[in-house]
């Protein structure tokens, strides 16, 4: 019996020593695991920072490529921009003469056809400016000088024919400081004006020359900026209309 007790004591002593060794090993393992977790967190943080830096570098690289492409593209535009700048300076220099020609067109060409209008502007006005040393565009296109494509498109949608004579008439009607007297046998001008001024015509927006309230209507429309269409005008015109009318043929 005694040998067994001695063996048990020895075994218990060995177990206690083994448990102490196990506890020490587990403590060291926990410390190592904590250090490993700390290093793993540091690694993850550094990897995230690395990815952020790489993403920033790639974005910067793309911007550099786009900037280089833009600079390369703009370099090819330098010649054109220089030419445009020179052309703009020349256009400004000729602006006085061009405006004089446009004013002459508005003031004097309304009653005439397209050919005679061209003659008055190109053969008379342009030549006169050149003789007087006033810079002016040779072969000036009155239409493109006085109205843009978008406005012409709006006029066409409102019923104005697309030929040059009609567009010139539209310019005369809208750019003149006086109100137009339109010779309109086909009714094209009347149809266009009605559509163009649809939102700018009072209830009596169309009247006749013999209307007993013509003076009051004319006075109110001119005072408030409304459009007033007087139709059926024949050979005689009320003198009160003379100061505000301008003749234009359609």
Q: Which residues contact 142 (CB under 8 A, 6 or more apart)?
A: 101, 102, 105, 121, 168, 171
pLDDT in tens, 28-60: 888 888 888 888 889 888 999 989 999 999 999
pLDDT digits (tens, 9 = 90+) for 81-106: 777 777 777 788 888 899 999 999 99
Domain edge (last residue) among 128, 146, 164:
146
Cα 244 to Cα 106, 147, 151, 178, 218: the distances in Å are 14, 23, 24, 5, 11
Q: How far apart are CA 189 and CA 194, in angstroms?
A: 8
Same domain, 177 and 139: no
**Among 138, 148, 143, 134, CA closest to 96:** 134
Q: List pLDDT tens digits, range 206-235.
A: 888 888 888 888 888 888 878 788 888 777
pLDDT of residue 153: 92
195 and 249 together in one domain: yes
> For the chain, how many structural domains are there in total?
3
Same domain, 82 and 113: no
Instruction: Say if strands 229-231 and 206-208 run parallel, antiparallel, or are unpaired.
Output: parallel
User: Coil, strand or helix: which one is 20?
Assistant: helix
DSSP code of residue 32: H
Q: Which domain holds residue 103?
A: 94-146
Are residues 128 and 221 part of one domain? Answer: no
């Amino acid at each position: 019996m005694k040998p067994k007790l001695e063996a048990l004591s020895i075994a218990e002593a060995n177990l206690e020593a083994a448990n102490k060794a196990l506890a020490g090993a587990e403590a060291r393992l926990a410390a190592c695991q904590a250090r490993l977790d700390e290093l793993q967190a540091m690694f993850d943080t550094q990897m995230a920072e690395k990815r952020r830096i790489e993403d920033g570098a790639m974005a910067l690289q793309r911007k550099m490529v786009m900037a280089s492409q833009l600079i390369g593209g703009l370099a090819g535009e330098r010649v054109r921009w220089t030419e445009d700048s020179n052309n703009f300076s020349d256009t400004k220099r000729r602006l006085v003469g061009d405006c004089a020609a446009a004013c002459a067109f508005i003031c004097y060409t309304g009653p005439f056809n397209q050919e005679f209008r061209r003659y008055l502007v190109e053969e008379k006005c342009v030549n006169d400016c050149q003789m007087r040393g006033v810079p002016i565009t040779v072969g000036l296109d009155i239409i493109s000088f006085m109205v843009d494509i978008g406005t012409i498109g709006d006029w066409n949608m409102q019923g104005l024919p697309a030929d040059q004579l009609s567009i010139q008439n539209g310019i005369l009607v809208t750019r003149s400081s006086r109100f137009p007297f339109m010779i309109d046998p086909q009714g094209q001008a009347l149809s266009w004006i009605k559509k163009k001024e649809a939102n700018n015509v009072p209830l009596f927006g169309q009247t006749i020359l013999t209307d007993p309230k013509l003076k009051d209507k004319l006075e109110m429309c001119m005072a408030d900026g409304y459009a007033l269409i007087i139709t059926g005008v024949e050979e005689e015109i009320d003198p009160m209309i003379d100061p505000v009318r301008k003749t234009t043929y359609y």
